[in-house]
A and B are shown apart, each in its own frame.
Chain A
Amino acid sequence: MLRLLVISSVIGLLYSSSAFAQLYGTNTFEFQYGNLPYEENTDLTTSYDQLNLFYDQGKISAYGRFEHFLTPFNDRNYFLLTQKRLQYDDDHFKVRIGNFYKTIGRGLLLRSYDIPGSVYEDSFYRTRYAFNRDQEGVDISYKNDWIEASVIRARPLFNPLPPNFKPDSARRPDLIEAIESDFYLTEDLSIGGAFMRSRSDGRDDYRELASLMYNYNLPFNLQVYGEYAFDTDIALFQFKEEDSYALYSGLNYFYGSFGLSAEYKNYNQFRLGSGYNDPPSLIKEHTYPVLNRSTHVLSTANESGFQVEGFYNFEDGHSVTANITTAKNEIARTNYYREYFLEGYYQASDFLSFKAFVDYATDERKGEENRISAGLISEKSFNYEWSFALDVQFQTYYKTAFSQNVENYYASIAYSTIPDLTVSLIFEATDDLLLTDNPNTFDIEDETRTWLGGNVRYKINQSHTLDVFAGKRRGGPACTSGICYEILDFEGVELRFTTRF
């Protein structure tokens, strides 16, 4: 009844909003008819809807997120107001009450995120919901020309649990209280600090942490950033095995069409609470499917290493990118991660382009050795009216757990009528025993497994987009916007309708 009243009020607001106020938002509706492979007896028809509503009036704004999930299984269904926020914003102050996103420094102490439009399905609860990590509480910020400060008291979301999980309090098991400030000493130099204490439910004591950070815009197009976060009861800059600390430093440089970024990390015993912090992983973020799902997962228990990336953009549109990444974990034994990546983009004409990449990596902690990945992508446009894109990728590595040489294949072909319609076919194959074997049988199946699916995207107008998928889709680890999570295999038909209003 309460929910109906809330919805009625929202619809009332929608129609009563006039020139002095704005009501707007987005809606994502997704319908699936299909199931997970190897689960023939659990055919699912599900629908998921996410409505984000914003209401602005002068310096005050309100926000609400409604999520609705419907399946044949009642215990998985829900219809909830999953986020709500009231915000005041002027030239100097910003006050947020409710659900909000906030990161301290580069995320060594606290990191929030929201991947707009993402729909996550958990393999255990089989419930679909928005994949985000927000804070619920209060955030008060102040800024002027030489200082910025903020105070937070909030409960970060533990997002592996779906919105309908009971008790609801289990989804926010930590309480954090933090103060952060940045001082701009000169036009180019700022120093900052943060103090945070946190307490997990069921415990009486607080864990106290602090962070020191600086940013310096140096001459000759150089910029350095450093941050050092630590438990307040340790001796500073000692980096002992038993201490909890996280040290991150980044340097960047550019000259003409050349750019360079170099970063260093040293993290030890620095997983906070239920995992509400997320220090930079310093792992190259790839969008190529074979590399995206091969990502090295950062261990905040113990990891050190560096990443260097350089790029050069030629005047006629060609570009080259090179990346070197190394990491070392010392948990029980020493494991190394090394990756060398090279990518080239060649624009043969206004209507024809080629892109190629090659990547070599070894991830000892994950048990993947001598991983070689390569790909070639070509796009051909016909007088900017329609275009074809061909994408072929290959990957092989030695999997130590199975003593197996794994091979992965990816190919896609896409046709676009500019700018409204894109139709694509995607084929994938693997002989990875972890994926070829049916877990419901006693035998070990080792025949190459394949996936074939088709996508259609139609941009109806500036406000509405329709996406349809049919066929089989390969799951696995996936990273979007720097956030990595697991997506599930799917076979069937999926329809997504996105609206902004």
Chain B
Amino acid sequence: MKLLLSLLLIVSSAVFSGPKVHNFKLKNLENRTTSYEDVKGEELTVIDFWATWCKPCIKSIPKFVDMYDEFESQGVQFVGISVDGPRNLSKVKPFAKSLGIDYPVLLDTDNNVMARLRVQAVPTLLIVNSEDEVVYFHEGYTPGEEKMIEAEIKKLLNE
């Protein structure tokens, strides 16, 4: 019976659409608390979850920095969310700056926002529309996947 209930929950989970992004608040690299409303984009918001210890993240971030330069004028805002815990927190700011990140970076030290946005691994990239709906979800990064993400942003801007 219990197994059946578990299976029912798994199956039922497949039929619902994703959530809206709530107005979460996190500290930024200057140690000031910032809300999602403060940093989100006019048309689209691209949220990249990363960590200093995550090897694929190091490869993906420079691609997102380039993409931000390309799409910023079209109302697309990139936001980085570092999920580093206290153990690595001191490295986050110099790491982000040395990679050339010029968009806001927020610190999700307790992984509260990560869990609520259903992120289970880094890197994970979400694209959120102006209605705060998550319209694209991409887990992991292999070189070349930025082309797919770029195409998705263009498609969403044209909708």
Contact = CB atoms under 8 A, between A and B. Distances in A.
Interface string B91-114: 101110111100000000111101
Nearest to B118: A500
Given A217-B30, A258-B98, A26 B88 contact: no
22 contacts: A11-B8, A11-B9, A22-B19, A26-B118, A27-B9, A29-B10, A56-B22, A68-B2, A103-B86, A111-B86, A113-B111, A187-B30, A221-B97, A254-B97, A261-B94, A285-B88, A311-B94, A459-B140, A463-B137, A481-B85, A499-B13, A499-B14
A77 B123 CA distance: 34
A313 B16 contact: no
Contacts of B155: none
Q: Is the interface of A mostly helix, strand, loop or mixed?
A: strand
Given A24-B118, A416-B142, A462-B136, A285 B2 contact: no
Interface of A: 4, 7, 11, 14, 22-29, 47, 49, 51-52, 54, 56, 61, 66, 68, 70, 79, 89, 91, 94, 100-103, 105-107, 111-117, 143, 148, 184, 187-188, 190, 215, 217, 221, 223, 225, 250-254, 256-263, 278-283, 285-287, 309, 311-313, 317, 319, 345, 350-351, 353, 355, 379, 381, 384-385, 387, 416, 418-419, 459, 462-465, 481-483, 497-501
B14 A464 contact: yes
Given A79-B2, A221-B97, A116 B119 contact: yes
B35 to A, nearest CB: 8
A482 B87 contact: yes
Contacts of B157: none
B144 A384 contact: yes
A217 B30 CA distance: 7
A110 to B, nearest CB: 11
Nearest to B16: A501
A317 B86 contact: no
B82 to A, nearest CB: 11
A187 B137 CA distance: 35
A52 B19 contact: no
B33 A148 contact: yes
A287 B93 contact: no
A144 to B, nearest CB: 10
B51 interface: yes
Contacts of B140: 419, 459
Contact of B10 (A49, A101, A107): A49
Contacts of A217: 30-31
